[in-house]
Chain A
Amino acid sequence: MSAIRLRVNGAEYAIAVPPMKRLLDVLREDLKLTGAKEGCGEGECGSCSVLMARGGQCAELVNSCLIPVLQAESAEITTIEGLAPKDAAKLHPIQQCFLEHGGAQCGICTPGMILATHHLLAKNPHPTLAQIQEGLAGNLCRCTGYMRIFEAVEAVGRAVK
């Protein structure tokens, strides 16, 4: 099993894992980054969402449960742990807005939802409500009914104006 080179949250890794191992499992088991969660294992719920960028292009939001790790080789992966440094006193504005506006309840969808928001706002810093609804439609939340999440996303838009 040859080592697969990964770049996750700015750090380089070379890990010997089967090439078809799911990126989600590599993150959680091999890199101990457990912020990405498994909710369904089939790309429906989005709780395993991470950002994947290649060749300086804009990052894409991917379901890490559907990505064989080989496919992530040489890509730049960002997980929730990479959004704000662990020891940072300051949260990323998206995290702060989710916290203040009640966008996180049980918290299990939150890492994926925050990364989906990051992805949405990178493409469109001031989305309309309909664009937010569309942009987050791949991430399921059973607690909030999404309204607090929409408010949090709108608040980020206002904060970065």
Chain B
Amino acid sequence: MPNPGPIVGTSPLRKEGFGKVTGHAQYVDDIVLPGMWHGATVRSTIARGRITSITFDPAVDWAQFCVVTAAEIPGENTIVHLTRDHPCLAAEFINHPAEPILLIAHPDKAALHAAVAAVKIAYEEQPGVFTIEDSEAGACAEGETQNPDVSKIIWDGAAHGGSANTFKTFVMRSGDDAAEHDAALAAAFAGADLVVEGEYRTGAQEQLYIENNGVIAEVTRAADGAIESVTVSGSMQCPYYLVHALTLVFGLPAEKCRVIQTETGGAFGGKEDFPSVIGSHAALLAAKCGHPVKMTYDRAEDLIATTKRHPSRTRHRTAVSRDGKLLAGEIEVVIDGGAYSTLSPVVLSRATIHAPGPYHWPHLTVRAKAMATNVAPHGAFRGFGAPQSLFAMERHMDKIARTLGLMPEELRRRNLLGTGMKTATGQHLSDPVDMKGMLTRALKETDYHAKRAEFDRTNGSATVKRGIGFATFLHGSGFTGSGERRLNSLVKVELMRDGRPRVLVSSTEFGQGTNTILCQVCAQTLRVPYEDVLIAQPDTAVVPNSGPTVASRTAMIVGKLVERASQHLLTMLAPYLTFPDPTADFDYSSACEVPAGYSPTDFKRAALAYLKQHGALTAEARYEAPGNIFWVDDKYKGEAYPTYAWAVYVAEVAVDTLTYAATVTDFYALQEVGKVIHPVLAKGQIEGGVAQGIGYALYEKCVYLDGLMRNNQMTNYIMPTSADLPPIRVAFEEVPSIHGPQGAKGIGELPMDGPAPAILNAIEHATGISFTEIPLLPEDIFERMTRVADAGSDDLNAVDRDTRSEVRA
């Protein structure tokens, strides 16, 4: 049997694809266990206050139900993320609408609705804090002597490493010495030709995976009644996060908490931290009622109770020279974290580092903070803070260009980062970076200049105004800063009894192609057919902790570990390989140097011979931080990410001045992502991300009233359908990175960052109106386009109002 050709870079069939196209794949709601009960959650009906009484309607026969309260939690009443401020069940205080208070289980799911309604909870209500500005009123800003409004303090963060209402703050300075840097920055502003200011806002966004959150929990007890094991199966991204959560809620060691990922119907970050909540809840019910308990949310509950993308407000103040050089910048990024800290500190971190965009800044200070509000906690969603701060940066770049009278591409060309330059955290870009070349290519392939000229010529009297705009951006691959060092991920590759290799990782498949690409990397390294490689279901009793499936880290970080573990496996098999010259001296640790004569048949023969002699073989690889990667947490400096993916996205829009609807009519996405492991899956990732980005910009609005999402249905939370999207044209450039297998970098989050600013830049070109906030719905465009300056006392020209440009003679 000849060696299989290259496997990485081809598009074999998705590993678990057969089950998906035949409908046989088992998602959590498809699984029924014998004797299984169903669980439901009693939630708060207020945003903020204190529980004064809980009464159970005597009309219900409560003996048939299992009810769990906060007081019955065997361990700590907390859902652990980075802090322990988030209760598993509210015991006394309510901090957001739909906060879980009680859990109820019953053998018949249909009986639960009435039971939940029959629990009457009385509250002493307090006024809620629902906006960033309201939350700031209760915070005492760093270095300021203002008097906070104590009635608005909703999170007393001293015990959790924050301050009143402030989960986390970061200050990122491009200079090394703070005082010197601040002085140089002030001098740069003082000497600049122009100072351009702007404020940009983004709204909450729902992940809208089509499979809602759901789990099944089972608890076994020893003869003395003590809990022996807690097992939770379900839809999730990070099985080991849930293990950690269970150890605290149950006060059990990790080996007694087992978590299994079932087929997962979309996640996008929405199943990163939330399964710790629903998983703990189902396990508490299972522990009390003695039956397996399934908890699956319906859409309405999923939308009011689970995490969404953080709303944000970003302010830019930029010193520029007349010839279009960025001289200095001050950026303030504020995200609304919701009621509890959850993942907000790390979302804020990615927002902070991506805030400067792909540009060189001689002097830059970014100040960032995550604020508390009485809204269900915001959490992970593809992009993780970067879409928010990059939206602001890329809209602001177009504003600076307009202010200077430069073309947007010309301003960028004069400031883009390139090979050998330093980012704002002081990271030296040693890998080749050719953003200028990519910009040229993207503008050429979209016929940008001709279209711009054509639209400028024809828009004047047209009812439908057309525009073209773009965004240039980057996205860091892997955990931020020291994250990967701390994760210390472990990957194993073992031999099955028939000699086939099996990959063991906790990295989960939820559509992106984890199973497929990791098997490709293993097959390529071992030189065996892709079809021969297996991958284990993520079950914490079986797979090692290869880290969470987040942060564009799976292909690059975990893929590299799979490659290394596969190399180790090959090294261990070396004595059993029978190619022509077994004494030949070569380096098995390099996949490229497997000798001539080695074939898949050879591998299988060696594998079986090894197993016959030793019984089993497992090879492993643990993350080792590259020697040239350092991050200093307290100074917020260094290599923020091992490497970055780079992109230029171009959007073409049509704005109908009769219906006020903006439509994206063409979309071109060019990115440099290192080696593309699987071209079909990679294209799918970009197209799917762009579609979500188009939704983020133009369709998807979470409408909150008193902190509760009111449009919690697919009928009124609108995501793009197949009829709403333009052609999405995807192009890759491949500059291999040493950090990923065969040179691959992260790809998953990148396409979420660029569409929104590219689209709003195009809308500005079409209409001449500078919109600064997303989502931008037809009613928002209507509102702005139908306002007339003399109709009220406000200065109604948004273009002027938000351009506090100071032009110095």
Interface residues of A (CB under 8 A from B): 28, 33-42, 44-45, 47, 79-81, 83-84, 86, 91, 95-96, 98-102, 104-111, 114, 132-134, 136-150
Instruction: Give the chain B neighbours of A143 by CB distance below 8 A.
Output: 266, 511, 684, 688
Is B461 engaged at the interface, CB distance under 8 Å to the other chain?
no
CA distance A102 to B11 in the complex (A): 9
Select the residue from B14, B27, B722, B725 with max chain A CB neighbours within 10 A: B722
Pair A133/B723 contact, Cβ less than 8 Å: yes
Out of A38, A95, A100, A144, name the residue touching B687 (CB < 8 Å): A144
Q: Taking A35-B24, A41-B299, A95-B21 as contacts, is the C-beta distance between A145 and B680 under 8 angstroms?
A: no
Q: Taking A47-B210, A86-B24, A142-B209 as contacts, is the C-beta distance between A107 and B263 under 8 angstroms?
A: yes
Instruction: Give the chain B neighbours of A41 by CB distance below 8 A.
Output: 298-299
Pair A106/B17 contact, Cβ less than 8 Å: no
CA distance A142 to B683 in the complex (A): 15
Pair B723/A106 contact, Cβ less than 8 Å: no
Pair A134/B684 contact, Cβ less than 8 Å: no
Subset of 14 A-B contacts with CB under 8 Å: A34-B23, A38-B29, A39-B211, A40-B299, A40-B715, A96-B21, A99-B17, A105-B511, A105-B684, A107-B20, A137-B722, A140-B721, A141-B722, A145-B691
B687-710 vs A, Cβ < 8 Å mask (1 yes, 0 no): 111111000000000000000000
Is B171 engaged at the interface, CB distance under 8 Å to the other chain?
no
CA distance A139 to B724 in the complex (A): 12
User: What is the number of contacts between chain A and chain B, taking CB atoms within 8 Å?
Assistant: 170
Instruction: Give the chain B neighbours of A147 by CB distance below 8 A.
Output: 683-684, 687, 725, 727-728
Pair A142/B719 contact, Cβ less than 8 Å: yes
CA distance A84 to B22 in the complex (A): 7
Is B13 engaged at the interface, CB distance under 8 Å to the other chain?
yes
CA distance A37 to B719 in the complex (A): 19
CA distance A100 to B21 in the complex (A): 11
Instruction: Give the chain A neighbours of B794 by CB distance below 8 A.
Output: none
Task: For B211, give the chain A residue with the smallest CB separation.
Answer: A108
Task: For B667, give the chain A residue with the smallest CB separation.
Answer: A145
CA distance A102 to B725 in the complex (A): 18
Pair A145/B728 contact, Cβ less than 8 Å: yes
Is B208 engaged at the interface, CB distance under 8 Å to the other chain?
yes
Pair B210/A108 contact, Cβ less than 8 Å: yes
CA distance A81 to B22 in the complex (A): 6
CA distance A111 to B17 in the complex (A): 12
CA distance A98 to B20 in the complex (A): 10
Out of B209, B689, B723, name the residue touching A145 (CB < 8 Å): B689
CA distance A79 to B23 in the complex (A): 9
Q: Which 9 A-B pairs have the closest CB atoms?
A: A35-B23, A108-B265, A107-B20, A106-B511, A145-B691, A80-B23, A105-B511, A145-B687, A44-B714
Bin the interface of chain B by size: 35 or more
CA distance A40 to B208 in the complex (A): 10
Pair B299/A39 contact, Cβ less than 8 Å: yes
Pair A146/B725 contact, Cβ less than 8 Å: yes
Q: Taking A42-B714, A142-B208, A145-B689 as contacts, is the C-beta distance between A107 and B723 under 8 angstroms?
A: no
Is B30 engaged at the interface, CB distance under 8 Å to the other chain?
yes
Task: For A137, give the chain B residue with the smallest CB separation.
Answer: B723
Q: Taking A108-B211, A108-B266, A143-B688 as contacts, is the C-beta distance between A40 and B713 under 8 angstroms?
A: yes
Task: For A98, give the chain B residue with the smallest CB separation.
Answer: B21
CA distance A102 to B686 in the complex (A): 12
Nearest CB of chain B from residue A35's CB, rounded to whole Å: 3
Is B643 engaged at the interface, CB distance under 8 Å to the other chain?
no
Nearest CB of chain A from residue B9's CB, rounded to whole Å: 15
Nearest CB of chain B from residue A30's CB, rounded to whole Å: 12
CA distance A98 to B22 in the complex (A): 11
Task: For B20, give the chain A residue with the smallest CB separation.
Answer: A107
A-facing residues in B1-55 (Cβ within 8 Å): 11, 13-14, 16-27, 29-30
Pair B23/A81 contact, Cβ less than 8 Å: yes
Is B512 engaged at the interface, CB distance under 8 Å to the other chain?
yes
Is B681 engaged at the interface, CB distance under 8 Å to the other chain?
yes
Pair A42/B715 contact, Cβ less than 8 Å: yes
Pair B266/A142 contact, Cβ less than 8 Å: yes
B658-697 vs A, Cβ < 8 Å mask (1 yes, 0 no): 0000000000000000000000110110011111100000
Is B646 engaged at the interface, CB distance under 8 Å to the other chain?
no
Select the residue from B19, B22, B688 with max chain A CB neighbours within 10 A: B22
Out of A39, A44, A105, A139, name the residue touching B722 (CB < 8 Å): A139
CA distance A132 to B410 in the complex (A): 40
Known: A99-B13, A106-B20, A142-B268. 7 other contacts (CB 8 A): A28-B30, A102-B681, A107-B265, A108-B209, A114-B21, A140-B719, A142-B210
Nearest CB of chain A from residue B563's CB, rounded to whole Å: 23
Nearest CB of chain B from residue A51's CB, rounded to whole Å: 13
Task: For B682, give the chain A residue with the smallest CB separation.
Answer: A102
Pair B690/A145 contact, Cβ less than 8 Å: yes
Pair B13/A100 contact, Cβ less than 8 Å: yes
Select the residue from A107, A136, A139 with max chain B CB neighbours within 10 A: A107
Is B610 engaged at the interface, CB distance under 8 Å to the other chain?
no
Instruction: Give the chain B neighbours of A33 by CB distance below 8 A.
Output: 23
Instruction: Give the chain B neighbours of A150 by CB distance below 8 A.
Output: 722
Pair A144/B684 contact, Cβ less than 8 Å: yes
Out of A37, A81, A99, name the residue touching B211 (CB < 8 Å): A37
Nearest CB of chain B from residue A93's CB, rounded to whole Å: 11
Out of B14, B687, B715, name the residue touching A104 (CB < 8 Å): B14
Instruction: Give the chain B neighbours of A47 by CB distance below 8 A.
Output: 210
Nearest CB of chain A from residue B103's CB, rounded to whole Å: 22
Task: For A36, give the chain B residue with the smallest CB separation.
Answer: B23
Out of B13, B688, B714, B727, name the residue touching A39 (CB < 8 Å): B714
Task: For A115, give the chain B residue with the smallest CB separation.
Answer: B23
Is B470 engaged at the interface, CB distance under 8 Å to the other chain?
no
Pair B692/A142 contact, Cβ less than 8 Å: yes
Out of A40, A81, A99, A146, name the residue touching B18 (CB < 8 Å): A99
CA distance A84 to B21 in the complex (A): 10
Instruction: Give the chain B neighbours of A34 by CB distance below 8 A.
Output: 23, 26-27, 29-30
Instruction: Give the chain A neighbours of B713 by CB distance below 8 A.
Output: 40, 42, 44
Nearest CB of chain B from residue A100's CB, rounded to whole Å: 7
Nearest CB of chain B from residue A56's CB, rounded to whole Å: 25
Is B510 engaged at the interface, CB distance under 8 Å to the other chain?
yes
